Amino acid sequence: MLSAVDELDRVADLCGRLDLAVPKSDLASRVLEPIAGLVGAETASLRCFGLASGEPTPLAIVSIAIPGGVREAYLDRYFGLDPIRRLLTRRLARPLFDDPARRGEWSSDEVGAAKREVYREEFRRYRREFLLPNHFYHHLGFCVQDSSGGMAALDFHRPQKAPQFGALERARARVVAGYLHAQAGRHEAGVVVPDGSKVPQVALTSREAEVADAVAIGLSNKQVAESLGISVRTVENHLRSIFAKYDVASRTALAAKLRASAALS
> What single string gives the DSSP state of each residue in the chain?
---HHHHHHHHHHHHHT--TTS-HHHHIIIIIHHHHHHHT-SEEEEEEEEEETTEEEEEEEEEES--HHHHHHIIIIIGGG-GGGGGGGS--SS-----HHHHS-S------HHHHHHHHHHHHHHIIIIIGGGT--EEEEEEEE-TTS-EEEEEEEE-TTSPPP-HHHHHHHHHHHHHHHHHHHTSPSSEEETTTEEE------HHHHHHHHHHHTT--HHHHHHHHT--HHHHHHHHHHHHHHHT-SSHHHHHHHHHHHH---
Say if residue 260's pLDDT is above 70: no
| Domain shared by 61 and 160, yes or no | yes
76 compared with 97, residue with greater pLDDT = 76
* CATH code of the domain covering residue 47: 3.30.450.80
| Domain shared by 172 and 231, yes or no | no
Range of the domain at 47: 4-196
At residue 196, the pLDDT reads: 46
Question: Among 165, 196, 227, which residue terminates a domain?
Answer: 196
| Domain shared by 173 and 246, yes or no | no
| Domain shared by 113 and 93, yes or no | yes
What pLDDT, in 10s, does the model give residues 97-143?
755 555 544 555 566 788 888 888 999 999 999 999 999 999 999 98
Band of pLDDT at residue 19, cut at 50, 70 and 90: confident
At residue 129, the pLDDT reads: 96
| Domain shared by 234 and 166, yes or no | no
At residue 91, the pLDDT reads: 67
Number of structural domains in the chain: 2
Question: Among 172, 196, 220, which residue terminates a domain?
Answer: 196
- The whole-model pTM stands at 0.68
Say if residue 27's pLDDT is above 70: yes
